[in-house]
Amino acid sequence: MTAALLLRGVVKCYGRRRALDGLDLEVPCGSVFGLVGSNGAGKTTAMAVSVGLLRAAAGSCDLLGAGSFRAEVHAGRVTLLPQDSRFPPHARVVDLLHYYGRLQGLPDDRRGADIEALLAWVHLADRARSPVRTLSHGMTRRLAIAQAFLGDPELILLDEPLNGLDPREAARIRDLIRERRGRQTIVISSHNLGDIETLCDRVAFIEHGRLMRQDTLDRITRRSHRLTYLLTGDAPLESLRHDVPEVDWQVSRDGRELTASYTDPWTPQSLNRRIVPLLLQSGELLEIRRGSDLESEYLNLTPPLPL
C-alpha cells in the first residue's frame, strides 16, 4: 500500500520550543487516519507543515508520492480544514466556493454541480448567497468542511472537523466521511476519541511532537484478540482460568469488568459460546465489547501530565 502522506523526521520549532521533534508518520492511501494527542502535541502543526503553510526546520514530507507540497503539483489534490481560521467576511458562501474551485482548476461545468451538492450535504443550500459574516459559528464550520471536500481531492486533512457542530450536523459529517472511505485518504485530528474510533481505520498517537505509536485501530485496540465483558456480579475468575487456561483473564478492581486476551485459534464467536453460559451463572451480562477502547490505550501509552 503506497503512502498518501509520509513524514520523516520532521522538526518544527516555534522559538525555542520544538512543536515537532522528528515526527514520523505514514498515512496509507485510501485510509481514514486519526491523529490523537494532547493539546500542543503537534497535530495541527503536522497538518500545516504537510501542506506547506508552515516551514519545517528539518525532515522530509511526501504528499501523494510527489514530494513536498508544491501548488503546481498538489493544488486540488490535497486540501485542508484549518483550525481557527476565518473566511473573508464579506464574501458570499457560493462565490467563495467558486473561487476555491477555480483555483483548484475545477472545470466550470463540474464546479457548479459539485458546490450545489456539497452545500446540500452540509445543510447550507439555503444560505448559498449569504455573506459569510452572517453565518453562525456552526454554519461557518460546515462551510469550512465543505471547502475541504470540494473537487474530490485525493488527500483531505481535517483539523478538529466536528468541533462546534450540533449533534445532528456532527452525525451528518461523520456519514460524509464514512461515505468517502476507500475513495479518498482522510486524516482527522481530534480530541474526541469516540469520533476517531468510529471513523478511522488507522490511528497515530503523537506526544511532544513525536510519534508514540501508529497502527491499525484493530491492532491498537486489539479488537480481534480481546473481549471485554461487563457484569452485574463478580466475575468467576477461578473457574474461567480453570476451564479456559489458554486465555489471559484480567478483572477490574471492582470485579465487574472482565477482559479476555486470546490468540488463534480462538475467535470471538468460539470464546463467547464457551464462556457466556459460565458468566450468566454468576449474574447478569450487561455488555460485550470487542477490544479495549481507544481512550484506555491512549492513556496507557502516554505519560500522565505532571501535577
Partner 1 sequence: MIPTTLQTLRTLTRHELEDSVRSRRVIVLSLLYVAGSTAATLLFVAILQKVERQLAESLGVTVASGTGSVTATLWKSDGFRHILTSLAGSESLATTLLRVPPLALFYGWLSFTFAPALVMLTSTARISEEVWSGSARFVLFRTSRLHWCLGKFAGQAVQILGALLLSAAGAWLVGLLRMKSFEPAATALAMLGFVMRGWIYSLTFLGLALAVSQWCAAPNLALALGFFTMIGLAVLAGVSDHFAGEGWRRAWDLVHALTPGGHGTDLWWGDAAHLLPACVFLLSLAFVYLAAGYARFARRDL
Contacts of 142 (CB under 8 A, 6+ apart): 122, 123, 124, 165, 169, 173
Grouping H, G, I as helix, E, B as strand and the rest as coil, residue 209 is coil
> CA 55, 60, 64 angle in degrees (round to 5)?
100
Of the pair 85, 270, the CB lying nearest partner 1 is at: 85
By CB under 8 A, name the one of 87, 176, 216, 223 that touches partner 1.
Answer: 87
CA distances from 297 to 120, 184, 201, 288, 303 (A): 38, 27, 15, 18, 12
Site for partner 1 in 95-114 (CB under 8 A): 95, 99-100, 102-105, 107
Q: How far is the CB of 151 from partner 1 (least distance, A)?
A: 9
In angstroms, what is the minimal distance from the CB of 192 to partner 1? 22
Asked if 90 interacts with partner 1 (CB under 8 A), we say: yes
In the complex with partner 1, the residue whose CB is nearer, 88 or 194, is 88
Interface with partner 1 in residues 31-70 (CB under 8 A): 48, 51-55, 69-70
The residue (of 69 and 262) whose beta carbon lies closer to partner 1 is: 69
Q: Which residues of 20-40 are buried (b: 16+ CB within 10 A; e: fewer)?
A: bbebebbbbbbbbbbbbbeee
Alpha-helix residue ranges (DSSP H) falling in 105-243: 108-121, 137-149, 167-180, 193-199, 217-221, 237-243
Contact 209, 21 (CB under 8 A): yes
Are β-strands 78-81 and 226-231 bridged in parallel, bridged antiparallel, or unpaired?
unpaired
- Nearest distance in Å: CB 222, partner 1: 37
φ/ψ of 4, rounded to 5, equals -80, -35
Residues 161-180 that bind partner 1 (CB under 8 A): none
Question: Binding string, 65-84, against partner 1, x = CB under 8 A?
Answer: ----xxxxxxxx-xxx-x-x
Residues in 183-202 at the binding interface with partner 1, rule: CB under 8 A? none
Radius of gyration of the chain (CA): 23
Residue 283 CB, shortest distance to partner 1, in Å, is 55
- CB-wise, 102 or 273, nearer to partner 1? 102
> Which parts of this chain interact with partner 1 (CB under 8 A)?
48, 51-55, 69-76, 78-80, 82, 84-88, 90-91, 95, 99-100, 102-105, 107, 131, 144, 147
